[in-house]
């Protein structure tokens, strides 16, 4: 499992990069979902988001899942390319697979560092 040390993670498997404001789903989440076939970003540039707000919907061959904001702030960018190439979430969840960027993002207090998230994932049943 790939868990970059510079990111913060939510128990609902989203990641947040405080440096860039980028948000996406973790390697663990994309692995659990399996082959992702559809992504819909539910927020627009300029919109304010709060921690826990649904920002995207992801569907795979196994399941569908809502993606929630792990930080609050103004949406400064939306990765529109994901709609055409949702499989990027499987191959590069921390790079090209970012979903939105949040300007001035205030991370939720419940976010874990990489080590804490790895431990959390190890303790989950599959």
Instruction: Sketch the domain layout of the chain as residue ranges.
Output: 8-122
Report the pLDDT value the prediction gives residue 104, as an integer from 0 to 100: 80
Report the pLDDT value the prediction gives residue 108, as an integer from 0 to 100: 72
Give the predicted TM-score (pTM) of the model: 0.93
Q: Cβ–Cβ contacts within 10 Å for residue 38, how many?
A: 12
Across the 126 residues of the chain, what is the mean pLDDT of every consecutive 10-residue run?
A: 94 95 96 94 96 96 93 96 95 97 83 96 80
Report the pLDDT value the prediction gives residue 124, as an integer from 0 to 100: 87
109: Cβ contacts below 8 Å, ≥ 6 apart = none
SS3 73: strand
First-residue to last-residue Cα distance in the chain = 14
Task: Report which of 84, 90, 71, 95 is spatially closest to residue 39, judged by C-alpha positions.
Answer: 84
Cα(60)–Cα(30) distance, rounded to whole angstroms?
A: 9
- Tell me the CATH architecture of domain 8-122: Beta Barrel (2.40)
Report the pLDDT value the prediction gives residue 126, as an integer from 0 to 100: 52
Report the pLDDT value the prediction gives residue 68, as an integer from 0 to 100: 97
């Amino acid at each position: 499992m790939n868990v970059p040390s510079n990111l913060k993670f939510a128990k609902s498997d989203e990641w947040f990069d405080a440096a860039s404001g980028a948000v996406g789903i973790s390697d663990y989440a994309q692995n659990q979902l399996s082959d992702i076939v559809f992504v819909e970003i539910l927020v627009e540039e300029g919109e304010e988001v709060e921690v826990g707000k649904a920002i995207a919907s992801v569907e795979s061959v196994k399941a569908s899942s809502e993606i929630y904001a792990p930080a609050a702030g103004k949406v400064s960018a939306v990765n529109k390319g994901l709609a055409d190439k949702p499989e990027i979430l499987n191959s590069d969840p921390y790079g090209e697979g970012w979903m939105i960027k949040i300007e001035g993002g205030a991370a939720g207090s419940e976010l874990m560092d990489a080590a804490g998230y790895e431990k959390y994932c190890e303790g989950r049943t599959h």
